[in-house]
Amino acid sequence: MLMGKEKAVIFDIQKFSVHDGPGIRTLVFFKGCLLRCLWCCNPESQLKEPQLVFYPERCIRANKCWQVCPTHAISVEGNRLILDKTACNLCGKCVEACYAGAWKIFGMEVDVDYVMKEIEKDIPFYRNSGGGVTFGGGEPLLYPDFVNAVARCCQEEGIHTAIETCGYAPWKNFEKALGNIALVMFDIKHIDPQRHKELCGRSNKLIRDNLKQLSRRGGVEVVVRLPVIPGLNDSEENLKDTAEFVASLDGNIERIELLPYHRFGEKKYERLGREYVLAGLQIPDEEHMQHLKGLMEGYGVAIKVGG
């Protein structure tokens, strides 16, 4: 197999997922995203650069980390460890010194060969379950050549390939990345451009335009995903307008999946030293999700609750 020379920054390769495409899957998480969704469950993926993350619940106060830090980026303030991100050079000495695992660097540059070796370990699981590989993040379309190179290797091995995207990338990136992709899971956060900008930091005009082009492209299955965030994007108007927009598109949109909000990413903000502005937001129950499904039905596109 001829491996490409392309490289990318990833922050995780997760095995045995059953929620991000058919069958048992390996998820490759890319670092970097141009949106800043208020509910982002992977805030460590937003910056393209590697980041040092602290897990306070793991810390046993052995004091090794700040003692070995060559730039004095870690200090003690009362009962807390403080990280000066401007002084940290990501040397990793604190990670090596902490045997409790309280420090971790998220993000490393990898090549195609590295990722394929991890993927190939799970080939028996793909073949027994109809699974494969899903590229997520962050935003994998920030690395279109790398995604295409890995996906091409996967196709040569008969491995199903999928991509999860927020849709905010130049269309040329889609064209480069999708040549060997079988399934695209495409997010719509909010259908209104101004409200989308308020919730995610940018207008959705580019996202909408990309979905229109993608729906006409052919050769790839497309699933639209709507994360349901109570009070932010679950109004009757937004749900109906989203269904109407998707139904108006040509071609190959298979369905819309309604994904209920969860709090899995809340602790990550604390570890990154960031405030989570949606703390305490209630998780939508099954009755509410079915109500939203009912609002969207009847527009000519299949609606499903959950991935």
Condensed to tens digits (0 to 9), the pLDDT of residues 127-177 reads 999 999 999 999 999 999 999 999 999 999 999 999 999 999 999 999 999
From the candidate CATH numbers 3.30.70.20, 1.10.10.60, 3.40.920.10, 3.40.50.150, the one assigned to the domain spanning 51-106: 3.30.70.20
Mean pLDDT over the full length of the chain:
94
Query: Hey, where are the domains in the chain?
Result: 7-48+108-305, 51-106
The string of pLDDT tens digits covering residues 43-94 is 999 999 999 999 989 999 999 999 999 999 999 988 889 999 999 999 999 9
- The reported pLDDT for the residue numbered 261 is 96
The predicted model scores a pTM of 0.91
Q: What is the 3-state secondary structure (H, E, C) of the chain?
A: CCCCCCEEEEEEEEEEECCCCCCCEEEEEECCCCCCCCCCCCHHHCCCCCEEEECHHHCCCCCHHHHHCCCCCEEEECCEEEECCCCCCCCCHHHHHCCCCCEEEECEEEEHHHHHHHHHCCHHHHHHHCCEEEEECCCHHHCHHHHHHHHHHHHHCCCEEEEEECCCCCHHHHHHHHHHCCEEEEECCCCCHHHHHHHHCCCCHHHHHHHHHHHHHCCCEEEEEEEECCCCCCCHHHHHHHHHHHHCCCCCEEEEEEEECCCCCHHHHHHCCCCCCCCCCCCCCHHHHHHHHHHHCCCCCEEEECC
Percent pLDDT > 90 in the chain is: 87
CATH 3.20.20.150 fits 7-48+108-305, yes or no: no
